Amino acid sequence: MINQEVSVDDSGRRAQILEAAFQVMAEHGFRGASIKRIAERAGLKSPALIYWYFKDKHALLEAIFQRMSPFLSTVAHADAKLDDPPEQVLPLIANSFVTVVSQPQTGSFMRIVLSEFARHPAVADFFAERGPLVVLKFLERYLTRQIELGRLRPHDPRAAARAFMGMLIVFGLGREIFQSVAAGFPPAGAYAEQVTRIFLNGLAASAID
């Protein structure tokens, strides 16, 4: 019976399960998101069908990370723009990030995964290797190249990359978790613009050390 169900719509079934898992985890947390609940939300006849696509709940969580990463896709495409000016590239990164964290349900999911990281370091490592570290490594390469081109003054690209991402992460955490920190935050697009301007003003080639 399960094999027949798999063959009915294999191409869309995985996406269907992921959407259900995202909704259930956002509502009930990682521990409360049982395979049975996810199967019911996905409209599956048997919870066992999920295991044809994902070995366990952690595999589901990992797939959701990847699915929620249009921001990382922007970074991947930006890797071809190492010679483009920072006034063009950094706003792409900043706007993509604030757009993702401003989406509905992202806040609930952020709270879930942060608590999950504390209990399961392996999940945190997976997320870091496919999320923050990807972005930081790109920014380090990009800032190094911009120094070589004379567009930015000499500085430590590793520290600068973390400073830039730090300003963006504060926006996400402030909006959804530490709301007192977000008091007075401008809209997402305006915040991304301000962050980029502050960052570039500090590293402009003409800046005085």
Could you name the CATH architecture of 2-64? Orthogonal Bundle (1.10)
What percent of the chain shows pLDDT beyond 90?
36
CA distance 114 to 110: 6
Candidate CATH numbers 3.40.50.620, 3.30.420.40, 1.10.150.120, 1.10.357.10; the one for domain 68-203: 1.10.357.10
Burial class (CB within 10 angstroms; exposed 0-12, middle 13-18, buried 19+) of 87: exposed
Q: Which residue has the higher pLDDT, 98 or 178?
A: 98
Cα separation, 195 vs 190, in Å, equals 9
pLDDT at 196 (0 to 100):
93
- For the residues of 3-54, what is the DSSP string, one character each? HHHHHHSHHHHHHHHHHHHHHHHHHHHHHH--HHHHHHHHT-S-GGGGGGT-
Q: Where are the domains of the chain?
A: 2-64, 68-203
Given a cut of 50, whether residue 2 has pLDDT beyond it is no
Most confident stretch, 7-21, 66-80, 138-152: 138-152
Q: In the predicted model, what is the mean pLDDT of residues 79-107?
A: 85
- Rounded to 5°, the CA angle 113-125-55 comes to 70
The whole-chain average pLDDT of the chain stands at 81
The per-residue pLDDT for range 137-167, each reduced to its tens digit, is 999 999 999 999 999 999 999 999 999 999 8
pLDDT bin (cut points 50, 70, 90) of residue 68 is low
Domain pair 2-64 / 68-203, same fold: no
Report whether 182 contacts 101 (CB < 8 A).
no
In this prediction the pTM is 0.71
